[in-house]
Structures are given as structure tokens and as C-alpha cells.
Structure 1
Amino acid sequence: MRTWPALLLALMVAAVVAALPAATALDGDPGGGPGGGPGGSSPPSPPADTPVPAVGRTWPVGLRPSVIRGWEPPATTYGRGHRGVDLTAAPGAPVRAVAPGRISFAGRVAGRGVVSVELNGTGDPPLRTTYEPVRATAKKGAEVAAGEVIGVLEPTGSHCPASCLHWGLRRGDAYLDPLSLLPPWLLGRGPSRLLPVIGVPEPEVRAVP
């Protein structure tokens, strides 16, 4: 039989645990797999101004796929959010490395095919892109070039209403926006345009004798 002090302590612990935010299932990188910790606890999201070099040279699927759902960093470290982007793609579509790197994981996590690529020259720890649900065609440890096929999109395992590729980006345990890897011309923002200079006189044109 519990004494009153022990019972009171148990009630206080239960109240504290209930007040903690619930950890959500990983969006964009399954826990216990490619870089995730055992048990699948969600890594924190970084500050919004975390710099990401635009090293991407291609979309992971298609030429310019539609973004079904973008990156939505959670308001709190372990809050709900969308830790990656969902891109339209048909089952069987080739999935490509967006930048050169090394395959750090190629296998199945919680029934889903997952491929992760550590990107070359992106610091320590390096940036790591993750793609799912993907049946890997490249093996762990293989060096891949930008645009090289690393797998094919599986018909099942997607959390989208229709078929899609979930593309994630991490540095260490912090999630980042994968679209920040791509330069503006790949994102469809158009090329840079020169604006007219106002207030500067035009150079004098002299006739050639």
C-alpha cells in the first residue's frame, strides 16, 4: 500500500509527463534509420536563418515537379510540422541525387524504402538529403553524381493522397528546407534581369569621319 507522500509524488510526475509536448512521427526522415536515433524521436528543427549552400543541380524527380506540400518547421522543437517537401511523381519514376555525394543509407525503415545521400563539400557535419518511399538502386557507400539515379519511386508507403516523393534535408539532427539547395533558375523564378539605370546620362556617340 502506497503512503501519502509516495502517492503525491506519483501524481506530480504523471502531471509533468502529461504536460510535455507529444513527439510526432518523423516527416521526411524515419527515426532509427538514416541518421535518426533509436526509437524514432524527432530531431530538432534549426533556426530559420540557418544558411544552406545552393549546391543542388537538379530536381530529385522530373524536370520541375509540383510541390504538394512544402517545408513547415514546427513552432517548438518537438512540435508538429512537415520536415521536408512532397513532390508529385508517378510510381516507378527515377529518383536522382540532387547534388554529388555518398550514399549513407539505402534500405527499409518501418516498411518504407529510404535512400540518404551525404552531400560533398557541405561542411561538418555534412548536409544529408533523404528520399522516400524509394527502392534503392545504388548501394550504401557508393559515390554518386548530381542527377545520377539512386532508386525508383515505390507505389506504396507515401503519406500523400496521391503518389509523391518525400524529400528531406538535415544537417546533423536539425531539419532544413530541401528547396534551399536549389538555385533560383531551378525553382522557376526565372533568370536575373538587368534593370535600367535612372539618372545616369547616356554616353555620347560620335560620328566616325
Structure 2
Amino acid sequence: MHKALCALLLLLPPTATWPVTPRPPVLRPYEPPPTPYAAGHRGVDLSAPPGTPVRAVSRARVAFAGRVAGRGVVTLELTATGLHTTYEPVRPTVSGGDEVEEGQIIGEVEPGGTHCAIPCLHWGLKQGDTYLNPWSLLPRTPPRLLPYLDTPRSTIATAASATTPGSSTPSSIRRTAESTTP
């Protein structure tokens, strides 16, 4: 992904709203194609039975709400980003030009007309002609370091308290990182 695009995605406030709630099982993840015209999966398939309400994952303007190749499609232009999210198959309850808020219902999953083996919602993200991973819009959970299973707790407590004044990183971890940094 381009550095400017990565920076844009990091500046976006992460949304807590999934397109369907509660958080559905993922039937097929985003699989970017190696080239623009190669095979791949340009979105995420979420398990969703027909009639499931579909929600806007962010504040947006409806760029398109209608039928494409016999399927209902909604495309939202995310406010001030140049990004578009797509949802299909959806029976839209919004119209082109409408402004929507995060979490607002924009339609419902239609029966049939899907590429999944079971009913699903295909959720996509694009910038221009470039497909992106829609999961990048969801909250980023900060990583947590957990102790090794065979490390005694007393060693962990000692290492955590061995910080240099003004630093929150234990000196033993800092030394290890410094010795492995080129």
C-alpha cells in the first residue's frame, strides 16, 4: 500500500461500527490480487441472512444506491477521505446524495444474488481504482505483550521494574532491542 494512503487510513478515526451487527462471522477475508486484473477477493464476505440491516461504517455521502448486474449495491463516499465503501447484495433504504451517519441503516441484505455459498454481505473499500482492506476502517487494538508460559512471575515483575528513570521500557528489553537493531 502507498505510504500516503497508509497515513490517510491512520488519520481516520477508527469506527466501532461493523456493517452488520452483532459482529458476524467472516466467510471470506480480503485477498488482494497480485496485479490490478488478477484474481483475488476485493472485499470481505460477512455472514448475514436476508433481511439483516446493513449500516454505514462511517459518516458518508451516498454515491450510489441501486442495481448492478441484478444485485442491489450501495456505495458510500466517506466524508473528506476520497475513500468509498461498497455493500452488496443490499436492498437500499437510502438514495444517491443522501448524507448518512456512522451506524445509520442504509439497507438490508437481499436474498439470493450473492457469490457466497450461504447468505452474506460483501463489504468493500476503494480509493480511486485501488481496492483496500475494509478491516482497516475498524478499531485498531493495541498489541499486548504476554509473558512466556515457562517464565516465572518473579522474573517478569523484576524485568518490568528494571526501567531507566524517564523511560517506561525495561532496560533489559532496551538493551536487547539496541543490540539487534542494525
Q: Which amino acid aligns with 1:180?
A: S
Tell me the equivalent position of 1:91.
50
CA contact (8 A) 2:62 2:96 kept: yes
Q: Which residue of 2 aligns with 1:77?
A: 36
For 2:61 and 2:14, locate their aligned partners in 1 and report how far apart those are by CA, in whole Å.
14
Superposition pairs of residues 110-149 of structure 1, within 5 angstroms: 110-122=69-81, 126-149=82-105
- Of residues 108, 122, 125 in structure 2, which corresponds to 1:166? 122
> Tell me, what secondary structure is at the counterpart of 1:184?
coil
More helix by share: 2
Q: Report Cα offsets for 1:4-41 as digits up to 9, x if no partner.
A: xxxxxxxxxxxxxxxxxxxxxxxxxxxxxxxxxxxxxx
Structure 2: distance between partners of 1:120 and 1:77: 26
Q: Distance in 2 between matches of 1:70 and 1:163?
A: 15
Residue of structure 1 in register with 2:173 after alignment: none
Q: Which amino acid aligns with 1:105?
A: F
C-alpha deviation, 1:48, in angstroms = 9.3
Q: Which has the larger radius of gyration?
A: 1
Distance 2:60 2:86 in 1: 12
Following TM superposition, by how much is the alpha carbon of 1:54 offset from its aligned partner in structure 2, in angstroms? Answer: 5.0
Tell me the matched-pair count.
Answer: 149
**Conserved? CA contact 1:71–1:85, under 8 Å:** yes
Contact 1:133-1:154 within 8 A present in 2 as well: yes
Please give the alpha-carbon distance, in whole angstroms, between the structure 2 residues aligned to 1:50 and 1:69.
24
With the length of structure 2 as denominator, give the TM-score of the two structures: 0.74
The CA deviation at 1:178 is: 0.3
Q: 1:177 aligns with which of 128, 133, 147?
A: 133
Taking a change above 3 Å as real, the CA distance of residues 103 and 66 of structure 1, as seen in their structure-2 partners, is: same
TM-score (norm. length: structure 1): 0.65
Structure 1 pair 118/184, CA: closer, same or farther in 2 (3 Å)? Answer: same
Q: Secondary structure at the match of 1:59?
A: coil
Identical positions, percent:
55
Query: Match of 1:154, as an amino acid?
Result: E
Cα-Cα RMSD: 2.4
Whole-angstrom CA distance in 1 between matches of 2:78 and 2:144: 31
For 1:178 and 1:63, how far apart are their aligned partners in 2? 17
**Contact 2:14/2:140 (8 A) holds in 1:** no
Aligned partners of 1:111 and 1:157 also within 8 Å: yes
* Mapped contact 1:137–1:151 kept (Cα < 8 A): yes
Separation of aligned partners in 1, 2:36 and 2:121: 25
Q: Is contact 1:54–1:180 with CA below 8 Å preserved after alignment?
A: no
Q: Is the 8 A contact 1:62 1:89 kept in 2?
A: no
